[in-house]
């Protein structure tokens, strides 16, 4: 029954192949996990610029919070920088994981 439905959708009696027909059939760019990670690491791409902006805001907020809580400004800057780098790379590898890594970096 399901095969008959697929044949009716395809129209020519052959099963529908989603890789050769459909909305993404004419996309010429090849995307892979590695290229997506590299795009998120490259600050000149849209994804990389967004990642850099979020990381910068997080590092700035981290620095200001630490100084407001009485930490030495030099130590706060080093810690915020470490947190920013780890969060930037983590968000590039697994989007959305930067917040967890930023939190866990406080214990390193």
Q: What is the pLDDT of residues 19-74, one digit of tens each?
A: 555 555 555 556 677 888 888 888 898 888 999 999 999 999 999 999 999 999 99
Contact 80, 59 (CB under 8 A): yes
Task: Report d(CA 88, CA 34) in Å as an integer.
Answer: 16
CA distances from 84 to 45, 48, 52 (A): 19, 14, 9
Contact 47, 39 (CB under 8 A): yes
Task: Report d(CA 46, CA 51) in Å as an integer.
Answer: 9
Q: What is the largest CA-CA distance in the chain?
A: 73
Collect all residues with Cβ–Cβ distance below 8 Å to 75 and sequence separation of at least 6. 66
Confidence label for 97 from pLDDT (cuts 50, 70 and 90): confident
Extents of the domains making up the chain: 1-30, 31-105
Rg (CA), the chain: 23
105 against 76, higher pLDDT: 76
At residue 106, the pLDDT reads 81
CA dihedral (85, 102, 59, 106) positive or negative: negative
């Amino acid at each position: 029954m399901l095969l008959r439905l697929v044949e009716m959708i395809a129209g020519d009696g052959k099963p529908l192949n989603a890789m050769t027909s459909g909305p993404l059939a004419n996309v010429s760019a090849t995307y892979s996990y590695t290229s997506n990670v590299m795009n998120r690491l490259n600050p000149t791409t849209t994804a990389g610029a967004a990642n850099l902006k979020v990381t910068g805001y997080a590092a700035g907020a981290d620095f200001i919070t630490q100084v407001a809580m009485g930490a030495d400004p030099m130590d706060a800057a080093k810690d915020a920088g470490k947190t920013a780098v780890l969060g930037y790379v983590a968000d590039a590898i697994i989007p959305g994981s930067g917040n967890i890594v930023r939190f866990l970096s406080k214990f390193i």
